[in-house]
Chain A
Amino acid sequence: MAVMFDSALAIRAARGETRAVAELLAQVRPGVLRYCWAHLGSLANASPDDVAQEVCLAVFQALPRYRDRGLPFAGFVYRIAANKVADSFRAARRAAGTRSLESVPDQIDDRWNPERRALIADMARRALRLLDDLPHTQRQIIVLRVAVGLSAEEVADALGMTASAVRMAQSRALCRLRERARDQESANEADEVVA
């Protein structure tokens, strides 16, 4: 599970303390990487690893300004991540059918195994299609809670809500998804009876 973001650590890192930078990077990167894979994993011509790298660098580049914004650190990070992912999503859509060399990673790992990549893309498509029915805020909450692994309190920080409001919204989202799944199941059963 993701470590609770430490704003004091972020301020020390902003001063350029190497140890604080390393510690903060270790806290931020896993969640950012999963966030990018969750949103871009279904796109063949996108490189979620590179986008995650860009997000991390953008976070550190903007870090000296973090203090002045009065925003919880999780919100600061995932606002940057959301913008970068949206940019990459649009770029990948524009370049649909082609694949730029930049999107091919230098080091091939297990996730780039074609079979594995196909499975990841299929699961990402199903999950995102499932979440597509949700209002924007509820979808964000489920992605941050499940894919990134943030706690309800961290999601509340990231989205500028109270933890209670997040818990209520996430329950509403799950309730809605379960209803839709039941409806889908009923429709399938009806199709089988007709057949």
Chain B
Amino acid sequence: MTTRISDGAPLGDEHGRPMDLTTLREDDLLLDRLGRGDDLADADADADADAVAATLARWRATLPGDDAADRTNDELLASALAVLQPSRRIGRVARRAAALSVVAALAFGSLAAASEHAGPDSPLWPLTRLMHHDRVEVRAAADAADAADAGVSAARAAIDANRYDQASRMLDDAAAAVERMEGAADAGRLREEIAALRALIPAGTERTTAGPPARLPSSEVPRSVVPPSPVDSLPSVPTSSTVVPTADSPVPPVGSDPPLVPLPSLPTASLSIIDGPIGLVR
């Protein structure tokens, strides 16, 4: 009878003669014992009768045992770790590079978004100029228009107060700001206003150029010549609506010069620190 095993293949020798399960099992056990290096002569008296098993057992006995394999394990382990290192390192470098590029992309994206509305006093301003060039130009033109408007208003107030020198300088600054407006719609109107105000300044008043004002050493700046700031930058300018006339501060008669805005006291030591702004004053 032909015995079948689990995978359905018919059991038979190479001549087609049937092989029984007992033979299969015995051969399997024999090979297991040979593979372990068991001494067949002691374990099985029938082994002597099987010349093939005896030859295979003697062959197996001459082969190195597990103890021989352990002898150079340390050296081999170091070599095995060494050959694994490059792939390990490459994998680690690639993972780090990928993580860094993601972080860099996120950071750059966030900075670019944040820089969109940054002003000149912001640390992100250089990035804004790089990333949002058109926006920077628009902003510069708007700032110049604001400065020109403020300058014209302040000059008008100075002319009203008969401070013509001061008014002239303010008009120069306003004209320089108008030049920075680069074709803005208000530029023409502001030029006309500046020309009209210049016409109100009596001839003989020193006319300055529109170029950058000469700087004076801060130590030479007399406190009395510090001009009032543009209207919007005055620390606290009393207006007619906010000033309540009292006995100590009588309302000046109509037609007389309005009193100068009292200046805050400037400590001498601080002049050197604010050299820049002071340097603009002539």
Contact = CB atoms under 8 A, between A and B. Distances in A.
B19 A168 contact: yes
Nearest to B61: A123
A104 interface: no
Contacts of A142: 31, 56
Contact of B85 (A16, A22, A170): A16
B68 A149 contact: no
A165 B14 contact: no
B80 to A, nearest CB: 4
Contacts of B135: none
Interface in A81-112: 109, 111
Interface string B28-66: 101110111100000000000011100110111011111
User: By DSSP majority rule, is chain B's interface helix, strand, loop, or mixed?
Assistant: helix
Interface string B84-95: 110110000000
Nearest to A62: B83
A18 B88 CA distance: 12
A90 to B, nearest CB: 22
A119 B62 contact: yes
Nearest to A152: B28
B63 A147 contact: yes
Contacts of A16: 81, 84-85, 87-88
Given A149-B35, A167-B28, A41 B84 contact: no
Interface residues of B, number: 48
B77 A22 contact: yes
Nearest to A145: B31
Contact of B51 (A18, A30, A150, A185): A185
B79 interface: yes
Nearest to B64: A33
Please indicate which of the listed interface residues B36, B55, B70 has the most CB atoms of chain A within 10 Å of its own CB.
Answer: B55
A25 B81 CA distance: 10
Contacts of B197: none
Nearest to B23: A171
B80 A21 contact: yes
B84 A57 contact: no
A77 interface: no
A53 B79 CA distance: 10
A4 interface: no
A170 to B, nearest CB: 6
A151 interface: yes
A61 B9 CA distance: 38
A136 to B, nearest CB: 14
A111 B30 CA distance: 26
Contacts of A147: 35, 59-60, 63
B280 to A, nearest CB: 67
B195 interface: no
B266 interface: no
Contacts of B84: 13-14, 16, 21, 60-61, 63-64
Contacts of A1: 32, 35-36
B269 interface: no
A149 B83 contact: no
Nearest to B80: A60
A148 interface: yes
A16 B87 CA distance: 9
B201 interface: no
B220 interface: no
Interface of B: 5-7, 9, 11, 13-14, 19, 23-24, 27-28, 30-32, 34-37, 50-52, 55-56, 58-60, 62-66, 68-73, 76-77, 79-81, 83-85, 87-88
30 contacts: A1-B35, A15-B88, A16-B81, A16-B84, A18-B81, A21-B80, A25-B77, A30-B65, A30-B66, A33-B64, A34-B64, A53-B76, A56-B80, A60-B80, A61-B84, A109-B71, A123-B59, A124-B62, A127-B55, A147-B60, A149-B37, A164-B7, A167-B24, A167-B27, A170-B31, A171-B27, A172-B14, A175-B13, A175-B14, A178-B52
Given A1-B32, A119-B62, A170-B31, 5 more contacts: A25-B77, A30-B64, A120-B63, A127-B59, A149-B36
